[in-house]
């Protein structure tokens, strides 16, 4: 069965509804907030967000909430178990306690890459295994951003973080590769799995609209350019997101019914330097001397990835 | 001991300014302490950092509630209740504001110095508004007991740690030197430490869940919090040329660009944080940026 509706074709088709009110304490130019904002436009307001500790802790600061729906704050490892609890409670009450269908909520997990790749990783795997009916939104800014940008399993090779700075012994900064969360999740065959970028609002909206029609584990990884941690001017957030797609560093794809499809393909891939050179976390690759070998390794990794699909 | 409190916004180098000032004091032979207020150190959000400089060992800890010198890096913070830069100021407190004018209301109460650091930073730092070296130079000069070479050494040390380019470092050093020569020292009197005190022991009591758990029952009330004063520059749509493509509406992370009934994009200035993504992304460049100027309390 492949009845996949492409609802949106242009910007003006975007849903006019804003599910997130302005006034949050998140950084100006936050790429993850833009992704969540566009995504929630496609869902109706009957949702409950289980929010892992992280940057998005700042979404709701007591006594204020930006959301039209509900928000449950959890520990960094606990958003998915919380989602399971909420889902079960709703199901049991609907079945045995006369809770009406219209009181049902869409359970959404919002977690950063630290929670998704490291601390909450096992619980998420278990939930996909059980087939929990939920949407998972991972805003991936490639480090523990809220505490000052420390290394996470999503930090890319060659980038500097607070715990892996460039030193004479470790010239590249981070010397391990980013965990491929998409492939790991894909191996468990969730109902729907997609990567999204705030720079591609139409693609993002279509993917959320599709996920809204499905049941079961629906996973999203959102590229989230982070002006504070990555070191660029807030106004360039979307430009950086665009370069991540155009250089092929961040492939935009979806997994549905056993098939991976790249929904936005870079026409002609730009060299990775175009993406790297604009960010402070990669500056040591260019100054004081150019680290050819490190840049080549990053480029090779991107090339190897795309060779599988070209 | 001299207590210095620095106010500004995330991304303006406020924390670094306190570090440079601390190091400069240390190199001048004093004991020093510097730290930011932990919390929402977000780009654009109000940020506070502290430096203590003393001839004797510093036993005092924690935020400075009654400072001797207040350095305000962003004049728009003056009437921001969240930041409250003048909180705890006494008539003897020396206040510095990064501004082109001397606010009258302030100069009646305090000894106020102002300099337009923003223009100087634009000139020396290649159009960046990062006040780390500028504010620390102001603080060092106002104190009057820190040598220029100690300040420059501190600027170099702290900024190299942050991976700054050599060209920008030179700009920072020139900027610090220029400001150091421009500002006149003010006699800042030393105040002794207060004796250490402990709070009486409080026994915990059990509260019902309604009182103990934070529950919010008003969806979307975050809009009551105005983030409009985070802006350094304001985006303005040129409606004569705007063709309502709504790219700005789609790209605004905070969702503060709404669509009017006639299809025009409209910016909500109460909440716009001034990230200026809209200005950069507008295909025809029909969104201009205008520098915000402060309003005084």
- Pick A67 or B291 by higher pLDDT: A67
ipTM of the complex: 0.91
Q: What confidence category does residue A1 fall into, taking pLDDT thresholds of 50, 70 and 90? A: very low
The pLDDT tens digits for A256-269 are: 999 999 999 998 99
For B130, which residue in chain A has the nearest alpha carbon? A233
Size of interface A-B (CB pairs under 8 A): 146
Q: Which residues in A lie closer than 8 A to residue B11 (C-beta atoms)?
A: 227-228
How many CB atoms are located within 10 Å of the residue A213 CB?
A: 11
Domain-embedded: residue B214: no
Cis before B255 (ω within 30): no
Q: State the number of CA atoms in the 13 A half-sphere of B26 facing the CB.
A: 16
Say yes or no: B125 and B260 in one domain: no
Share of chain A above pLDDT 90, in %: 84
pLDDT above 90 for A14: no
Domain-embedded: residue B127: yes
Domain-embedded: residue B176: yes
Show pLDDT as tens, one digit a residue, over chain B (297 residues): 999 999 998 888 999 999 999 999 999 999 999 999 876 567 777 889 999 999 999 988 889 988 999 999 988 788 777 788 999 888 889 999 998 887 777 888 888 888 989 889 888 987 777 899 999 999 999 999 999 999 999 999 999 888 788 889 999 999 999 999 999 888 777 777 777 778 888 888 888 877 777 788 899 999 998 888 788 789 999 999 999 999 999 999 999 999 999 999 999 999 999 999 999 999 999 999 998 776 543
Cis before A63 (ω within 30): yes
pLDDT above 60 for A3: no
pLDDT for the residue numbered A128 = 97
The C-alpha atoms of residue A161 and residue B25 are separated, in whole angstroms, by 29
For B280, which residue in chain A has the nearest alpha carbon? A235
Could you tell me the fold of the domain covering A17-272? Rossmann fold (3.40.50)
Say yes or no: B259 and B171 in one domain: no
Cβ separation of A239 and B280 shorter than 8 Å? yes
CATH no. for residue B247? 3.30.70.20
Say yes or no: B142 and B18 in one domain: yes
Cβ separation of B274 and A28 shorter than 8 Å? yes
Q: Which residues in A lie closer than 8 A to residue B250 (C-beta atoms)?
A: 11, 14, 38, 201
Q: Are the C-beta atoms of B137 and B176 separated by less than 8 Å?
A: yes
Q: Are the C-beta atoms of B286 and B237 separated by less than 8 Å?
A: yes
The pLDDT tens digits for A258-310 are: 999 999 999 899 999 999 999 999 999 998 899 999 999 999 999 999 999 88
Q: Are the C-beta atoms of A154 and A178 separated by less than 8 Å?
A: yes
Top-ranked range on mean pLDDT: pick from A9-18, A20-29, A114-123: A114-123
The C-alpha atoms of residue B226 and residue B156 are separated, in whole angstroms, by 37
Say yes or no: B59 and B155 in one domain: yes
Mean pLDDT of A167-196: 95
pLDDT for the residue numbered B209 = 74
Q: Which residues in A lie closer than 8 A to residue B285 (C-beta atoms)?
A: none
Strand-pairing partners, residue B72, are B7, B97
**Pick from B216, B246, B253: which is nearest to A29 by CB?**
B253
Last residue of a domain, one of B182, B210, B243: B182
CA proximity to A158, closest of A221, A241, A233, A230:
A230
**Pick from A24, A37, A236: which is nearest to B280 by CB?**
A236
The C-alpha atoms of residue A14 and residue B182 are separated, in whole angstroms, by 54
pLDDT above 80 for A21: yes
Number of structural domains (chain B) is 2
Long-range contacts for A179-187 (Cβ within 8 Å, ≥24 apart)?
A179/A117, A179/A153, A179/A154, A181/A113, A181/A116, A181/A117, A181/A138, A181/A140, A181/A154, A181/A221, A182/A221, A182/A253, A182/A255, A184/A125, A185/A124, A185/A128, A185/A219, A186/A255, A186/A260
The pLDDT tens digits for B153-207 are: 999 999 988 878 888 999 999 999 999 999 988 877 777 777 777 888 888 888 8
pLDDT for the residue numbered A93 = 96
Domain-embedded: residue B132: yes
How would DSSP label each residue in B74-110?
Answer: -GGGTT-TTT-TTTT--TT-EEEEESSS--HHHHHHS
Cβ separation of A234 and B256 shorter than 8 Å? no
For B13, which residue in chain A has the nearest alpha carbon? A228
Mean pLDDT of A33-39: 96
Say yes or no: B75 and B155 in one domain: yes
Cβ separation of B220 and A66 shorter than 8 Å? yes
Say yes or no: B235 and B176 in one domain: no
pLDDT for the residue numbered B228 = 85
Which tokens in the block code for residue A7? 């609802």
Domain-embedded: residue B188: no
Establish if A227 touches chain B: CB-CB under 8 angstroms: yes
Domain-embedded: residue B199: no
pLDDT for the residue numbered A6 = 60
The C-alpha atoms of residue A35 and residue A29 are separated, in whole angstroms, by 11
pLDDT above 60 for A5: no
**Pick from A33, A283, A287: which is nearest to B253 by CB?**
A33
Q: Which residues in B lie closer than 8 A to residue A18 (C-beta atoms)?
A: 255, 258
Task: Tell me which residues of chain A, numbers 90 to 149, contact chain B at a CB-CB cutoff of 8 Å.
Answer: none
Establish if A49 touches chain B: CB-CB under 8 angstroms: no
**Pick from B249, B254, B279: which is nearest to A22 by CB?**
B254
Task: Tell me which residues of chain A, numbers 264 to 293, contact chain B at a CB-CB cutoff of 8 Å.
Answer: 280, 283-284, 287-288
pLDDT for the residue numbered A111 = 97
Which tokens in the block code for residue A67? 């959301």
Residue A278, phi then psi, degrees to nearest 5:
-85, -5
Cβ separation of A24 and B254 shorter than 8 Å? yes
Cβ separation of A66 and B271 shorter than 8 Å? no
Domain-embedded: residue B110: yes
Q: Are the C-beta atoms of A298 and A247 separated by less than 8 Å?
A: no
pLDDT above 70 for A26: yes
CATH no. for residue B91? 3.40.920.10
pLDDT for the residue numbered A115 = 96
This prediction's pTM: 0.85
Domain range enclosing B258: 222-291
For A71, which residue in chain B has the nearest alpha carbon? B216
CB-based burial of residue A18 (10 Å sphere; 0-12 exposed, 13-18 middle, 19+ buried)?
middle
Establish if A234 touches chain B: CB-CB under 8 angstroms: yes
Q: Which residues in A lie closer than 8 A to residue B220 (C-beta atoms)?
A: 21, 65-68
- Pick A216 or B129 by higher pLDDT: A216
**Pick from A12, A34, A283: which is nearest to B253 by CB?**
A34
Last residue of a domain, one of B182, B207, B235: B182
Last residue of a domain, one of B163, B182, B201: B182
Distance in Å, alpha carbon of B165 to nearest chain A alpha carbon = 8
The C-alpha atoms of residue B89 and residue B7 are separated, in whole angstroms, by 13
pLDDT for the residue numbered B71 = 95
Domain-embedded: residue B134: yes
Q: Which of B211, B215, B254 to mutate to test the interface with A (most CBs of A within 10 A)?
A: B254
Give domain limits for chain A: 17-272
The C-alpha atoms of residue B278 and residue B286 are separated, in whole angstroms, by 10
Say yes or no: B18 and B138 in one domain: yes
Three-state DSSP at A80 gives helix
Say yes or no: B139 and B22 in one domain: yes
Strand-pairing partners, residue B35, are B50
The C-alpha atoms of residue B13 and residue B35 are separated, in whole angstroms, by 13
């Amino acid at each position: 069965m492949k009845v996949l509706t492409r609802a949106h074709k242009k910007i003006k088709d975007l849903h006019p509804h804003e599910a997130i009110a302005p006034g949050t304490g998140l950084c100006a130019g936050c790429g993850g907030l833009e992704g969540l904002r566009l995504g929630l436009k496609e869902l109706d307001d009957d949702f409950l967000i289980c929010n892992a500790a992280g940057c998005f802790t700042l979404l709701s600061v007591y006594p204020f909430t930006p959301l039209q729906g509900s928000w449950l704050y959890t520990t960094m490892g606990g958003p998915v178990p919380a989602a399971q609890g909420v889902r079960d409670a709703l199901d049991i009450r609907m079945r045995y306690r006369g809770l009406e269908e219209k009181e049902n909520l869409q359970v959404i997990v919002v977690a950063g890459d630290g929670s998704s790749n490291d601390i909450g990783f096992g619980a998420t795997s278990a939930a996909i295994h059980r087939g929990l009916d939920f949407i998972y939104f991972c805003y991936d800014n490639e480090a523990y951003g809220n505490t000052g940008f420390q290394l996470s399993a999503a930090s890319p090779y060659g980038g500097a973080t607070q715990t892996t700075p460039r030193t004479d012994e470790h010239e590249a900064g981070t010397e391990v590769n980013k965990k491929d969360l998409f492939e790991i999740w894909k191996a468990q065959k969730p109902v729907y799995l997609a990567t999204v970028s705030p720079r591609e609002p139409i693609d993002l909206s279509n993917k959320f609209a599709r996920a809204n029609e499905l049941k079961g584990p629906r996973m999203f990884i959102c590229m989230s350019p982070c002006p504070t941690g990555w070191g660029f001017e807030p106004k360039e957030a979307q430009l950086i997101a665009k370069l991540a797609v155009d250089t092929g560093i961040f492939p935009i794809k979806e997994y549905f019914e056993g098939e991976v499809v790249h929904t936005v393909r870079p026409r002609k891939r730009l060299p990775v330097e175009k993406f790297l050179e604009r960010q402070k976390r990669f500056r040591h690759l260019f100054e004081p001397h150019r680290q050819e070998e490190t840049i080549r390794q990053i480029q090779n990794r991107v090339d190897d990835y795309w060779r599988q699909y070209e | 001991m001299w207590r210095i409190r620095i106010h500004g916004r995330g991304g303006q180098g406020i924390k670094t300014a306190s570090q440079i000032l601390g190091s400069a004091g240390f190199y001048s032979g004093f004991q020093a302490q510097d730290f930011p207020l932990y919390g929402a150190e977000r780009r654009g959000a109000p940020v506070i950092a502290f430096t203590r400089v003393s001839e004797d060992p510093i036993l005092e800890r924690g935020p400075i509630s009654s400072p001797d010198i207040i350095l305000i890096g962003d004049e728009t913070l003056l009437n921001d209740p969240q930041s409250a830069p003048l909180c705890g100021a006494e008539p003897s407190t020396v206040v510095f504001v990064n501004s082109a004018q001397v606010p009258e209301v302030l100069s009646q109460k305090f000894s106020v110095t102002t300099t337009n650091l923003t223009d100087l930073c634009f000139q020396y730092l290649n159009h960046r508004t990062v006040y780390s070296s500028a504010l620390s130079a102001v603080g060092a000069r106002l104190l009057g007991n820190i040598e220029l070479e100690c300040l420059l050494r501190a600027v170099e040390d702290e900024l190299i740690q942050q991976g700054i380019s050599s060209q920008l470092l030179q700009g920072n050093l020139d900027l610090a030197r220029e400001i150091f020569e421009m500002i006149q020292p003010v006699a800042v009197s030393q105040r002794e430490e207060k004796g250490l005190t402990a709070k009486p022991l409080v026994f915990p009591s059990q509260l019902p869940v309604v009182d103990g758990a934070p529950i919010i029952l008003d969806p979307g009330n975050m809009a009551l919090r105005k983030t409009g004063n985070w802006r350094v520059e304001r985006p303005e749509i040129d409606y004569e040329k705007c063709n309502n493509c709504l790219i700005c509406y789609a790209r605004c992370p905070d969702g503060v660009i709404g669509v009017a009934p006639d299809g025009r994009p409209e910016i909500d200035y109460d909440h716009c944080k001034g990230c200026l993504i809209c200005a950069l992304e507008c295909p025809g460049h029909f969104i201009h940026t205008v520098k915000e100027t402060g309003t005084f309390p």
